[in-house]
Amino acid sequence: MPEVIQTYTPLWACLSALLAVIPIILLRKESFLREGATFVAGIVMLGFVISMVPEVLSGKVLECMLVQITRDVPIKFRVDGLGLLFALVASTLWIVTSLYSVGYMRGLKEHSQTRFFAFFAVSLTATMGVAFAGNLLTLYLFYEILSLATWPLVTHHQDKEARSGGRKYLTYLLGTSVGFALPALIFCYVKASATGLEFSTAGFLVGSVEGATALVLLLLFTFGFSKAGLMPFHSWLPGAMVAPTPVSALLHAVAVVKVGVFCIIRVFTGVFGLEFLKELDIAIVVSWIAAFTVITSSLIALTQDNLKRRLAFSTIGQLAYIILGVSLLTDRAVMGSMTHIAMHAAGKITLFMCAGAVFVATGKKYISEMDGLGRKMPFTFAAFTIGALSVIGLPPTGGLISKFYLVTGAMDAGQPLLVTVFLVSTLLNAAYLLPIAYRAFFPKDRQLASQPFSWKSTAEAPWACVVPICITAALAIVLFVKPQLLLKLASLMVTGTG
């Protein structure tokens, strides 16, 4: 058992984002100061998260008791390798996304920017609450808070399309969490309340469920946390593309969807336990649901001309990679799932921010309109190419590392058909992403193709949009060169040492 240290650091990390809402609202008439408050909160949060890295790497677990709900079940934080990995991703990318948001929102002169930044901060608070959740009840509560906090962001434009997308967003996310995840949580409480519903590497349900009951419970959690976008509870995700691009980046790379897969990983590793699931032999059902989602979403992505919708269906497939990996129950596959949270985040946030930069600079959102744009926006489309390579899983990007672990983990599990799913979907990833970059730099139109490139003719989006894109593209490469921290944090969970 790892050594447990009592500390309020996880709480301070969450409060640093929540308390930022106050100056954001008070400084609503001073946009520079309002945005400055966002950056300060992001830097403070990242500082608190980084301060916990040495203790967790040494095999220790950090705990913080918040509220005692019942005699057996508290609201508490518990920071281990998996939670810290997710917190590092979320807190790092919040700062970058905030800078991008400034360029995007100002560039398009968007309304209600104060409300936007305020709910952005609340959303990151809820995300960190999920990352640090010490038991199933705490995880569920922050999961629901995140759904409510991101709804105003999805409906930001307040038009008919935004309201329709917002209704679908809440219907799917709240409907599945209340209809599936909540009954599963209550069942767990009845069966194992003496454990405090606290996550453990052995799983707190060991010996409490069996057979068909265990399978139903596993499926209730898997579909109940529908932020993971697993089919058939996925259509909220493309519908949420009505939101501004910074929100899409938040939804698809930093917070919402990653919270969904994070919760499912917690269920597999902390509620059931990997060894118990091997005994029950039920996780293969989830594997094939995820495999179906991987292939189907990739095929749908191929048909989408709207760039954000293509990226949305790509996200559905990449999330299913993570679920497929953890459901294989082998050490390397589970490590691949955990590290893919970070690798996919770096690549996908780059792609979404590139889509937004193109819209800010040119007003174009359809792939068929982007011929030759790489010559006008070289930094944007160079970054897009790097992000695409990361999502595909090609060097020199971090996506190669996580996909290597996923594929070899599937081989360890003795599942050649699922290895084929990973490989075929990778080819589909290349088929729907690389042609976008190719036609941007090498247009089919002869007149465009004959025009020589000149730096004088470039027309990039505002620098506050372009700089974050370059940072996240560089991060995708850094994660290839230096993946050791992520691999170490993931290995702590797999080995049960933290």
Are 145 and 187 spatial neighbours (Cβ–Cβ below 8 Å)? no
Query: What is the distance in angstroms between the CA of the first residue and the CA of the last residue of the chain?
Result: 8
Between 29 and 370, name the one with better pLDDT: 370
Q: What is the pLDDT of residues 418-464, one digit of tens each?
A: 999 999 999 999 999 999 999 888 887 766 666 676 676 778 888 88
- Rg, the chain, Cα only: 22
Q: Which comes out higher in pLDDT, residue 191 or 383?
A: 383
pLDDT for residue 436: 94
pTM value is 0.92
- Can you spell out the DSSP letters for 275-344? HHHHHHT-HHHHHHHHHHHHHHHHHHHHT--BHHHHHHHHHHHHHHHHHHHHHT--HHHHHHHHHHHHHH
Percent of the chain residues topping a pLDDT of 70: 90
pLDDT for position 191: 84
Q: DSSP letters along 91-148, please? A: HHHHHHHHHHHHHHHHHTT-S-HHHHHHHHHHHHHHHHHHHTB-BHHHHHHHHHHHHH
pLDDT at 71: 79
Average pLDDT, integer, range 389-404: 94
Reading the block at residue 315, the tokens are 């996200």
**Element of type H or E holding 378:** helix 378-392
Those residues whose C-beta lies under 8 Å from the C-beta of residue 340, and which sit 6 or more positions away, are 318, 321, 322, 325, 399, 402, 403, 406
- When pLDDT is cut at 50, 70 and 90, the band that residue 104 belongs to is low
pLDDT of residue 446: 67
How far apart (Å, rounded) are the C-alpha atoms in residues 474 and 161? 35
| Mean pLDDT across 105-125 | 76
pLDDT at residue 403 in the model:
94
Q: Is the pLDDT of residue 253 over 70?
A: no
Best CA proximity match to 124, nearest among 89, 154, 94, 101:
94
Please give the Cα distance from 279 to 277 (Å, whole number): 5
pLDDT above 70 (res 405): yes
Pairing of strands 74-79, 4-6: unpaired
Give the CB-side neighbour count of residue 119, counting CA atoms within 13 A.
20
**pLDDT recorded at residue 115:** 81
Q: What is the pLDDT of residue 11?
A: 95
Mean pLDDT of 338-364: 90
Q: What's the pLDDT score for residue 156?
A: 62
- Please provide the average confidence, as pLDDT, over all residues in the chain: 87
Lowest mean pLDDT segment, chosen from 225-229, 300-304, 433-437: 225-229
Contact partners, residue 199, CB within 8 Å, separation at least 6: 78, 133, 134, 135, 136, 266, 269, 270, 271
- The tokens describing 417, both together, are 């058909």
CA distance 396 to 304: 27
What is the spatial distance between Cα 175 and Cα 178, in angstroms, rounded to a whole number?
5
